[in-house]
């Protein structure tokens, strides 16, 4: 048996060695804060309406819809956008007539903000998710910058944060975007957060580009999760602003550099919109009814987009090479 005199210096050495290890760990952690950020596998909604049943349902749906890279396509809709012959029908149609896009419907999760939209979604699409929010009714058309509109936009950011926390990357797309070609080959391989633009100034790294939150490609990692949490919390710093306006402010915030988030802005040549239409139908992937207020105007002009696309597809290769014009914006131009 070891004597107390022998054990005493051994215990001292152990305590000293443990102290050195703990000190080194603390110093390393402070030097590499992102290395130890939690990668949650459970929802962290602040909304009281979220419950364990919703969590489980969402996980099942995301797993069902994801591709081999754990990436899903997400859109949101309410009753106004889900009504027959409204934006959602046109949205789904664009996938069916686009080049290489119909298969992507297997990855599309339609997040429904009210029961009427959910029931309508089940009639026309195979992957629908009902997102309930206590105390809010997102059924009717949410007029731009109304309180209902602001609540809906921020609820969307909160929901997308939870998708990232569950380990899924996503392409978020507004339902007033026509998918004409598979966009995945046009995304940057090294961008955590990639976003379409109302106005693109030629450099995907230029923070002066004017982003549009209606179309984003986001990779699930610690950087993007912290960014989305920061974005959502910033609604309190800038009350009365919607998510896109807040993003336009915080994109230059020092916190973005601190977490190392890689932001890339998507060229309107490939990801166009009514603000700045793509100049080449031969390469365009998506067309967004942005810079357009009023649901009926959007529906009118999105029908024209699909007509333009159908006419383009009817041309021979020589004629297609020379085709660079759109009929839109039309009603949205007034």
Query: In the predicted model, is pLDDT for residue 40 greater than 70?
Result: no
Determine which of 131-135, 199-203, 277-281 has the lowest per-residue pLDDT on average.
131-135
Highest mean pLDDT among 113-117, 145-149, 237-241: 113-117
Query: In the predicted model, is pLDDT for residue 146 greater than 60?
Result: no
> How many other CB atoms sit within 10 Å of the CB of residue 322?
9
Query: In the predicted model, is pLDDT for residue 149 greater than 70?
Result: no
Residue 51 tokens read as 């419950």
Q: What burial class does residue 257 get, using C-beta atoms within 10 Å of its C-beta: 0-12 exposed, 13-18 middle, 19+ buried?
A: exposed
Taking the C-alpha atoms of residue 291 and residue 308, their distance in angstroms, rounded to an integer, is: 19
Across all residues in the chain, what is the average pLDDT?
A: 84
The pLDDT-based confidence of 10 (bands split at 50, 70, 90) is low
Residue-level pLDDT at 141: 42
Over 133-145, what HEC string results?
CCCCCCCCCCCCC
Domains of the chain: residue spans and CATH:
52-269 (3.90.550), 273-333 (no CATH)
The pLDDT-based confidence of 249 (bands split at 50, 70, 90) is very high
Percentage, residues of the chain above pLDDT 70: 78
Query: In the predicted model, is pLDDT for residue 260 greater than 50?
Result: yes
Q: Can you spell out the DSSP letters for 36-93?
A: G----SS-----TT--HHHHHHHHHHHHHH--TTSEEEEEEE-HHHHSTTSHHHHHHH
Residues sharing a CB contact under 8 Å with residue 63, sequence separation 6 or more, in sequence order: none
Query: In the predicted model, is pLDDT for residue 57 greater than 70?
Result: yes
Taking the C-alpha atoms of residue 8 and residue 62, their distance in angstroms, rounded to an integer, is: 57
Query: In the predicted model, is pLDDT for residue 14 greater than 80?
Result: no
Find the helix or strand (DSSP H, E) in which 210 lies. strand 210-218
Residue-level pLDDT at 213: 93
Query: In the predicted model, is pLDDT for residue 2 greater than 90?
Result: no
Indicate the pTM of the whole model. Answer: 0.81
The pLDDT-based confidence of 52 (bands split at 50, 70, 90) is low
The pLDDT-based confidence of 110 (bands split at 50, 70, 90) is very high
The pLDDT-based confidence of 223 (bands split at 50, 70, 90) is very high
Residue-level pLDDT at 23: 47
What is the average per-residue pLDDT within 97-123? 96
Query: In the predicted model, is pLDDT for residue 208 greater than 80?
Result: yes
Query: In the predicted model, is pLDDT for residue 7 greater than 90?
Result: no
Predicted confidence (pLDDT) per residue in 171-193, tens digit: 999 999 999 999 999 999 999 99
What is the average per-residue pLDDT within 30-39? 34
What is the average per-residue pLDDT within 278-305? 96
């Amino acid at each position: 048996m070891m004597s107390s005199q022998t054990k005493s210096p051994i215990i001292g050495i152990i305590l000293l060695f443990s102290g050195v290890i703990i000190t080194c760990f603390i110093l390393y952690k402070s030097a590499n804060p992102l290395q130890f950020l939690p990668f949650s596998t459970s929802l962290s909604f602040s909304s009281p309406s979220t419950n364990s049943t919703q969590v489980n349902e969402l996980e099942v749906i995301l797993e069902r819809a994801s591709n081999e890279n754990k990436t899903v396509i997400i859109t949101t809709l309410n009753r106004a956008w889900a009504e027959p012959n409204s934006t959602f029908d046109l949205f789904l149609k664009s996938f069916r007539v686009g080049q290489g896009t119909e298969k992507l419907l297997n990855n599309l999760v339609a997040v429904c903000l009210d029961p009427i939209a959910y029931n309508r979604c089940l009639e026309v699409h195979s992957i629908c998710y009902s997102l309930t929010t206590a105390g809010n009714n997102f059924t009717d058309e949410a007029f731009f910058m109304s309180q209902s509109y602001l609540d809906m936009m921020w609820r969307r950011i909160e929901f997308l944060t939870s998708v990232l926390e569950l380990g899924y990357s996503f392409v978020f797309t507004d339902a007033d975007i026509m998918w004409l070609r598979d966009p995945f080959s046009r995304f940057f391989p090294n961008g955590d957060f990639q976003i379409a633009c109302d106005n693109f100034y030629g450099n995907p790294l230029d923070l002066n580009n004017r982003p549009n939150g209606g179309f984003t490609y986001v990779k699930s990692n610690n950087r993007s999760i912290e960014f989305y949490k920061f974005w959502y919390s910033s609604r309190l710093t800038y009350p009365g602003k919607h998510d896109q306006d807040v993003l336009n402010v915080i994109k230059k915030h020092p916190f973005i550099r601190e977490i190392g988030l890689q932001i890339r802005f998507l060229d309107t040549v490939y990801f166009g919109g009514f603000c700045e239409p793509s100049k080449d139908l031969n390469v365009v992937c998506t067309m967004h009814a942005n810079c357009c207020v009023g649901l009926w105007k959007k529906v009118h002009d999105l029908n024209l987009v699909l007509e333009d696309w159908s006419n383009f597809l009817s041309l021979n290769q020589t004629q297609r090479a020379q085709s660079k014009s759109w009929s839109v914006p039309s009603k949205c131009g007034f």
